[in-house]
Structure 1
Amino acid sequence: MTILSEQTAKTLLTKVIAFSKADAVECNLDGSVGGNIRYARNTVSTAGEESDVTLAVQSTFGKRMGVATINEFDDASLEKVVRRSEELAKLAPENDEMMPNFGKQTYLESKTFFESTSKVTPEDRAQAAQNSIAPSKKDKLVAAGFLEENTRFTAIMNNSGLFAYNTSTNVDFSVTIRTEDGKGSGWVTRNYSDVKLLDTAKASSIAIHKAKSSVDAKEMEPGKYTVILEPAASNTLISNMMRSFNQRGADEGRSFLSYKPKEGEDLEKAPKNKLGMKMFDERVHIYSDPQHPIAPVAPFGSDGFPRQRIDWIKDGTVVNMPNSPYWAKKTGMPYIPSGGNIIMSGGSQSLEDMIKSTRRGVLVTRLWYIRSLDPQTLLYTGLTRDGTFYIENGKIKYPIKNFRFNESPIVMLNNIEALGEPQRIDGDMIPPMKIRDFTFSSLSDAV
């Protein structure tokens, strides 16, 4: 049992619902099949395939809820998992934030499944790895990479009439390529729904170039620099910011979106959050779209509620915040689930254009080991890695040692000089960015 068809999943979940004696029951059926290949020191080290299907049953009595899971699907096992979830529900404390299940919903069509990805073979993975290893060997470099693809399905049903079903595919590739002495390092990542878009040789050529170009890195004084962040570096900070983008945290004063009343302001009339307020450069437009052609996601969330295209930040202004059904009801706001992907609009400049227009700056391949310093200002720290370069008079002058940075995406998105074309990174679409006054606090000896 691997990828179940919509009808097969519906029949199985209908049977599960029929076993229930609870006031409310919701079932989540999820399955995946896929494979992977890993290589290090220019040699494949592991390869494998995996498949699994799991059923989770959530039973509710009043305000008490219990969940049980199983991966056996005969009638006796299905009834057993339902009874177990009911037993757990009766033992659970009451949850005052419990909300009723959603009824029947209507969903958008989202092209998340690509047959090409679902048909990847072990031979395809081996060839993709070889296409990365061979040029690395040719240049006397050392490659270590990982390729993984999978096909997934998810089905949700409850006793209030809701049924949702979706299939999706995904392929991830990343490789680190270093010089034999370990003094130069390059890295690249690629992520698609359609494996036809993946070219591991082309991707690896970028890491090869950076590995060879980053040898004998020079020290530069920490300080504030104009930086060009490649999409993988931009995404690290943008995704961290969006994970903190929720109404409840803002309303309760725990977030960078919390409104701080001014002296003398009427506290009862003052807003709780920064909804409707301009916080970023007016070029900042961040939204979610389940139907995005390059980064699609399922047209429903884990609770079965429909996803729609929705703006989070428009013209630099906060226009929506995700919340929960409970918090939406408590505050009189519409329920807005998280979008499933992050799409940030970009500009027309290429990475090369940004470099040419930079008198003095730093090119950053990616950021690593990110840690939060202050949730109220979203101040983060972390390190540059795998290719950091000094730019002078529109040209890459030489490689530089890595920096530790202390920066907030709020400040970063107010210091935009240029945006490039968005690229898919970890399921999101993020542009390269040219940012002024990015703060590097110290040096790092890591490559």
Structure 2
Amino acid sequence: MQDYFYSLADAITLSLQGDEVYTCTFHGEDSDFVRLNRSAIRQPGSVQQRSLSLDLIAGRRHAPGTITLSGDFEWDCDRLNALVDELRDKLPYLPEDPYLLYATEVQNSESLGANHLPAAEDAVAALIDAGEGHDLVGIYASGGTYAGFANSLGQRNWFSSYSFNADWSFYHEKDKAVKTAYAGLTWDSAAFDRKVEAALSHLDLLRQSPLTIEPGAYRVYLSPKALYDILGMLSWGGFGLKDHRTKRTTLLKMVEADTHLHPSVTLRENTAEGTAPNFQDAGFVKPDCVTLIESGRFRNCLVSPRSAEEYGVPTNGAAGGESPESIDMAAGTLANDDIVKQLDTGIYISNVWYLNYSDRSACRLTGMTRFAAFWVENGEIRAPLNVMRFDESVYRMLGDQLIDLTAERELILDAGSYFHRSTDSGRVPGALVEGFTFTL
């Protein structure tokens, strides 16, 4: 596949005229998908797809286009030549782009992931066995994802990764279910069994009559998945240079008012240990790591090439959205075995739902508890909770109200599959927070 992409790139180079330049990116996957319901296979399938996106450049004018590749070299070359002709015809009618920036210094790279995936039938069999006697519903996805970059200047980059993601729930009734996931690069049966055991223990608790408590401020434990989703919202406009320079960032107070988070909070874009490509669509190679927040203080923005050109600063290889793709949050000191004991009396939150900003400038989020949320009293889980809505500032939950982060972190792979399997990931601890505000 890598050689095939490079051969196509060489063919595109031969089709150029005059001072034309091109950049192109390749995306591909070989994925198995299996949907389960009532602990049985309902929809198995496999997806093999490859696409090539091309940007034809002449001066400061450029025209993009994308085709799906067939795997037949001659046919794909004919279609690419036709695409180049179409884009060339458009160029004279397009305005010059003042913020166009692409890599002109050749930086070749190759990152070949090792394939240690289990056979799909073995992983699915483990899920079915885990769901025996229960209503297990979810999806298993696994396989290779591939990305490439090439330009007419001779730069060639390739990235491949092999991962699996089992994302499922043990359903009880109505809005009560235990949602969990097991994802990674190498299947560990003991780790999977621990996930199942923990989920089933929560399922037993869900069978009790649910409790409704009054709105107010409570001590809470946010699971790694809940915290990952909150960090995902924080990434929506939080770290990009464009948002900072236009003062739309949700972290404006950190930059302009010296507001800070708890000293234990350190966030990084950790590309070296993630599952996303280490280069982006304009050909800039990403550094292994970019520190975003260090010891509670804001440190660096993610800078796309367009923002770099607009504001006259170096790019650090961020994609156009300037959001983390491999978010990494430093661990704390709270042992997993002590979570419920240290929570003492409060709410155990396994998942959050319907997250959104209630006040962007104050970095305040609203959302709902979902699936397995529990009332904890005197260090013991007492009852499942009915759904509640919260409204809380990141400056509080990860600032002066943060008690501790867990010493163990969880690798979370984004289960999204729009257009293709997502390569976003996170390594995130859980968080123990005081005075977390619930409004409904």
Question: 1:230, 1:431 within 8 Å by CA — same for their partners in 2?
Answer: yes
Question: 2:108, 2:156 within 8 Å by CA — same for their partners in 1?
Answer: no
Instruction: Find out whether 1:19 has 2:21 as its counterpart.
Output: no
SS of match in other structure, 1:320: coil
Instruction: Find out whether 1:323 has 2:279 as its counterpart.
Output: no
Aligned match of 1:422: 409
SS of match in other structure, 1:282: coil
Aligned match of 1:379: 364
Instruction: Find out whether 1:209 has 2:214 as its counterpart.
Output: no
Aligned match of 1:352: 337
Deviation of 1:276 after TM superposition, in Å, equals 11
Distance 1:93 1:132, change over 3 A: farther
Instruction: Find out whether 1:133 has 2:142 as its counterpart.
Output: no
Aligned match of 1:192: 184
Distance 1:100 1:229, change over 3 A: closer
Deviation of 1:224 after TM superposition, in Å, equals 0.9
Tell me the distance in 2 between the aligned counterparts of 1:346 and 1:277: 24
Distance 1:170 1:122, change over 3 A: closer
Question: 2:149, 2:283 within 8 Å by CA — same for their partners in 1?
Answer: yes
Question: 1:116, 1:196 within 8 Å by CA — same for their partners in 2?
Answer: no
- Give the letter for the 1:29 counterpart: F
Note the 1:19-418 alignment, pairs <5 A: 19-21=15-17, 23-70=20-67, 71-72=69-70, 73-74=73-74, 75-105=77-107, 107=109, 113-117=113-117, 120-134=118-132, 137=133, 141-179=134-172, 181-182=173-174, 184-196=176-188, 200-215=192-207, 216-244=209-237, 245-258=239-252, 274=255, 277=258, 279-292=260-273, 295-308=274-287, 309-338=289-318, 340-414=325-399, 415-418=401-404
Question: 1:186, 1:209 within 8 Å by CA — same for their partners in 2?
Answer: no
Tell me the distance in 2 between the aligned counterparts of 1:41 and 1:68: 43
- TM-score, with length taken from structure 1: 0.86
Distance 1:155 1:275, change over 3 A: farther
Question: 1:148, 1:173 within 8 Å by CA — same for their partners in 2?
Answer: yes
Distance 1:223 1:348, change over 3 A: same
Deviations 1:277-323 (A, max 9, x none): 4521111111122222xx44322223321222121100111110012
- Give the letter for the 2:263 counterpart: E
- Give the letter for the 1:286 counterpart: L
Tell me the distance in 1 between the aligned counterparts of 2:201 and 2:177: 9
Question: Which 5+ residue runs of structure 1 have no aligned equivalent?
Answer: 260-272, 443-447
Aligned match of 1:269: none
Distance 1:226 1:33, change over 3 A: same
Aligned match of 1:262: none
Deviation of 1:234 after TM superposition, in Å, equals 0.6
SS of match in other structure, 1:152: strand
- TM-score, with length taken from structure 2: 0.87
Tell me the distance in 2 between the aligned counterparts of 1:150 and 1:16: 29
Deviation of 1:170 after TM superposition, in Å, equals 1.9
For the aligned residue pairs, the C-alpha RMSD in angstroms reads 2.3
Question: 1:131, 1:201 within 8 Å by CA — same for their partners in 2?
Answer: no
Tell me the distance in 2 between the aligned counterparts of 1:284 and 1:36: 36
The number of residue pairs the alignment matches comes to 413
- Give the letter for the 2:170 counterpart: I
Distance 1:291 1:276, change over 3 A: farther
Question: 1:132, 1:200 within 8 Å by CA — same for their partners in 2?
Answer: no
